[in-house]
Amino acid sequence: MSATQAIPTGQREEAALAHKCLYYMSLMREMEDRIERKLYRQGKVLGGVYVGRGQEAISTGVALVAQPDDVLFPSHRDMAAFLIRGFSPGRIFAQYMGRMDGATRGRDGNMHMGDLNHKIVPIVSALAATVPVAAGAAMALKYKGSRNVAICWFGEGSTSLGHWHEGINLASVQKAPVLWICNNNQYAYSTPLRQQMACANVADKGPGYGLPAEIVDGNDVLAVHEAARRALEFVRSANGPYLIECKTFRMTGHSAHDNAHYVPPELFEEWSKRDPIKRLEARMAAEGWAEPEEIESLHAAILKEVDEALAFAEASPLPDPATLTDGVYESQ
């Protein structure tokens, strides 16, 4: 707290934002490390595990700008959006472990989670299918005269699917209030960008749809936040959709079973130097926004929070097989 008092008046807001960003990015990192490196290996998480290691700045920077009633469509590498929206870490662990306290009560796994009370719509596995749904949600917000918007994340791989093009086109034609966020992490499973698309940037696709687009450093959380702030102002002022392409790198395999042998090691080395958490910490130290002890105690608090959340999830019951056929229809 001592450092905060020493921060010049003009920088207090940015310093406070930096602290928030650091908290959510670090919480996401710690949770995903536990999921991928502990729970999965212990056999406590079954099926797929997809993490956003190295990409935490994108969901954090964008979701912190969103208003509470903006509707979010996060991808599988955007856990911070859930945390910022008030999903408890315990609920997320329980989701991964197929427990009753998970967001889908064991009906679906991993990042396939959502809750309309938190205004979050979950992905399906063909990720681009979310794009037309987000367009429709945005059209509905406009229909109702709301000032709220939809925010939809996807990877560069999604932009190859027809659904992506259909959703992007419809939203543009309708001038629907939706902010598109591309996590361009340069690999879709094992497929590198050059085999995914023939243009250099996802943002290059914007003009074909009359869609304003920009590129931002996806590993700089404050830059992402600032770009999203400006973009949301644009979208909220009834100007139609906007696309931000966040350049980043997937610091892991596609999923926990994938050792990413196809990624040249030097790429991991290069991108680890741009780690969004380390970068923010360095910036905070350089600007005088935080003392080293403050950052240490933040990480210690996160460890404790995550331990408690895990204990909660492990204590959560598994679903009762007798409920297997419940809830397919309203009256069933």
Partner 1 sequence: MPTATYLEAIRQGLWEEMERDPNVFVIGEDVGVYGGAFKVTEGFYERFGEKRVVDTPISEAAIVGAAIGASYMGLRPVAEMQFADFITCAFEELVNFAAKSRYRWGAPVPIVVRAPSGGGVHGGPFHSQNPEMWFVHTPGLKVVTPSSAYDAKGLIKSAIRDNDPVLFLEHKALYRRIKEEIPEGEYTVPIGKARVAREGRDLSIVTYGAMVWTALEAAEQLAAEGISAEVLDLRTLAPLDREAVSASVKKTSRALLLHEDTRTGGLAGELAASISETVFEYLDAPIVRVTAPDTPVPYSTPLEEAFLPSMQKVLDKARWLAKY
Binding site for partner 1 (CB under 8 A): 71, 103-104, 107-108, 112-116, 121-122, 124-126, 129-141, 143-144, 150, 162-163, 166-167, 169-170, 173-174, 327-330
Which value, in Å, is the radius of gyration of the alpha carbons in the chain?
A: 20
Question: In angstroms, what is the minimal distance from the CB of 310 to partner 1?
Answer: 22
Of 139, 142, 166, 137, the residue nearest 152 (C-alpha)? 137
Nearer to partner 1 (CB atom), residue 190 or residue 323:
323
Contact by Cβ (8 Å): 231, 244: yes
Q: Tokens 């109702």 map to which residue?
A: 144
Question: In angstroms, what is the minimal distance from the CB of 64 to partner 1?
Answer: 23
Question: In angstroms, what is the minimal distance from the CB of 90 to partner 1?
Answer: 18
Task: Report how far apart the first and last C-alpha atoms of the chain are (Å, whole number).
Answer: 55
At residue 29, what is the residue type? R
Q: Which token pair is 198?
A: 């023939």
Separation CA 163–CA 28 (nearest Å): 29
Nearer to partner 1 (CB atom), residue 45 or residue 176:
176
Question: In angstroms, what is the minimal distance from the CB of 215 to partner 1?
Answer: 25
Nearer to partner 1 (CB atom), residue 139 or residue 203:
139
Nearer to partner 1 (CB atom), residue 118 or residue 250:
118
Question: In angstroms, what is the minimal distance from the CB of 63 to partner 1?
Answer: 18
Nearer to partner 1 (CB atom), residue 169 or residue 201:
169
Collapsing DSSP to helix, strand or coil, 8 comes out as coil
Q: Which token pair is 32?
A: 């995903």
Separation CA 121–CA 88 (nearest Å): 16
Collapsing DSSP to helix, strand or coil, 186 comes out as coil
Question: In angstroms, what is the minimal distance from the CB of 299 to partner 1?
Answer: 32
Contact by Cβ (8 Å): 219, 276: yes
Question: In angstroms, what is the minimal distance from the CB of 329 to partner 1?
Answer: 5
Question: In angstroms, what is the minimal distance from the CB of 25 to partner 1?
Answer: 26
Q: Which token pair is 331?
A: 């009256």
Nearer to partner 1 (CB atom), residue 14 or residue 166:
166
Nearer to partner 1 (CB atom), residue 163 or residue 229:
163
Nearer to partner 1 (CB atom), residue 17 or residue 181:
181
Residues 6+ apart with CB under 8 A from 49: 35, 36, 40, 96, 110, 255, 256
Contact by Cβ (8 Å): 278, 21: no
Half-sphere exposure (Cβ direction) of 213: Cα atoms closer than 13 Å: 20
